[in-house]
Amino acid sequence: MERRSATLGHIPGLPEKFGKDFALELFRRANFSRHFELKVKEACEKKLITIPIYLSLGTEFNAAALSIVASEFKVFAQHRGHSFYLSFGGDPGELRDEILGLPTGCSGGMSGSNAIQGKGIELYGHSGLMGEQVPIAVGAALATGKPCMTVCGDASVEEDYIYPSLGFAATQKYPVLFICEDNDLSILTKVETRRSWSPVDVAASMGMDAVDIADNPWVVAHHAQRMSKALPGFINIRSVRVLWHAGTGTDGPPEWDRYELTLAELNKLGLADQMAKIENENKTKAHKLWEKQLQKL
């Protein structure tokens, strides 16, 4: 298995190749997810939210990149899916209401942060059973013939129903993009304690295109775009969770800070002024979304 690092699978020159419009859209989506999540964090710390919360802080650029290059895909997400919901165009007010357990939430207030659904944007969350969204995505591709993306974690990818699904999709060449957001943790247990094998090798052995990369959003976009032309494909994205598994605590400094690393790349493209404007808009939007709820406290 490859060693974890922030530069795994790095391809030089991609930011310039994808261009400024892509870069600004990438930033717009990831930055809004970040400001939304910071408000959720504040609401948790003020005890407005008391249910388990799975934040996307640290992984928001994965969802942003995928949502730009695979916008037409149905998405089968799991917990830690706020950024997928937001980047793929879900209504932020409905996500807020879902997290607050209100009937106006995107899952009618029944799922909380764990299993968000976005039917209008064809985003289907799991029901709480880790990895169940993977066979369901393969079934959806079989039934509809439309491209489907499924996102699971490095622990969910160990579930026994994953591999028959990967094998069937590989055999039948179903249009499924398998994403594993690999933060090296199953709650608190690292990959090296749990397994000596890599899902990338297993997927490749089944005859599908499979890569193991760090969470550089341009590299993520590059492979997703490339694989979309000949699915199925499997992308293991080495990612970093900034906060605890659930809730808003921290267990020390993150292994690397993809958010800051990406800002540095964006600045090199000469986008600082446009980014400052976008950040301002996003901050205001997130503030307005949560203002009424947070004011009550």
Enumerate binding residues for ligand TPP (CB under 6 A): 80, 128-130, 152-156, 159, 181, 183, 185-187, 245
Per-position x/- string for 135-164, each x denoting binding to Mg ion as judged by CB under 5 A, each - no binding: ------------------xx----------
Binding partner of 80, given ligand TPP, Mg ion, none, CB within 5-8 angstroms per partner class = ligand TPP
**87 touches Mg ion (CB under 5 A):** no
From 27-35, 68-76, 169-177, 179-187, give the range in contact with Mg ion by CB under 5 A. Answer: 179-187
Binding partner of 130, given Mg ion, ligand TPP, none, CB within 5-8 angstroms per partner class = ligand TPP
Binding partner of 214, given Mg ion, ligand TPP, none, CB within 5-8 angstroms per partner class = none
Smallest distance, Mg ion to C-beta of residue 185, A:
5
Pair 38, 96: CB distance under 8 Å: no
**105 touches Mg ion (CB under 5 A):** no
Q: In terms of Cα–Cα distance, which of 10, 3, 7, 8 is closest to 222?
A: 10
Smallest distance, ligand TPP to C-beta of residue 246, A:
8
